[in-house]
Structure 1
Amino acid sequence: MTAARLRYKVVEVAPVAEETLEKALEERAAEGWGIESVHFVTREGSHRPAMAYLFFTRVREDGGPGQPPG
């Protein structure tokens, strides 16, 4: 699948906790998004993440730029 056929969504999660991550994942999955990756941001001197960025993808419904619908 080419990148032109994909849509991307980035979700910032803070505070980072099991419940907040699960909520963000479940909400986007219900909307048809698939998880691509998770990136954690830590503060200097701390191992606990201060925030997380969740990256999601899904196939464009319109077929993408220059592509016919369907």
Structure 2
Amino acid sequence: MVEYKVVETSVVTDETLEEILNAWTAKGWHYDGMQFAMTEASKRPAMAFVLFTRALAKDS
């Protein structure tokens, strides 16, 4: 079984995204993808959603 984690950030910079990736992979999560929310007023993303997965431990 797979467990999912979505981390949302409104600060979309390389430093912030690196911090999120490093923090959650250090906790055992596997990077699965990234989605950006854009606005018409800017060419830069307004938000980012970083997606992670990990296997659920089997109940003994």
Normalized against structure 2, the TM-score is what?
0.91
Find the counterpart in structure 2 of residue 19 from structure 1: 15
Q: What SS class does the counterpart of residue 46 from structure 2 fall into? A: strand
Q: Distance in 1 between matches of 2:20 and 2:9?
A: 8
Q: Which has the higher contact order (CA 8 A, sep 6+)?
A: 2
**Structure 1 segments of 4 or more deviating over 3 A?**
none
* RMSD after superposition: 1.1
Alignment-mate amino acid for residue 14 of structure 1: S
Trace 1:42-57 onto structure 2 (pairs within 5 A).
42-57=38-53
Identity fraction in percent: 42
Normalized against structure 1, the TM-score is what?
0.79
Largest Rg, 1 or 2: 1
Find the counterpart in structure 2 of residue 37 from structure 1: 33
Structure 2: segments with no counterpart, 5+ residues: none
Q: Distance in 2 between matches of 1:38 and 1:18?
A: 13
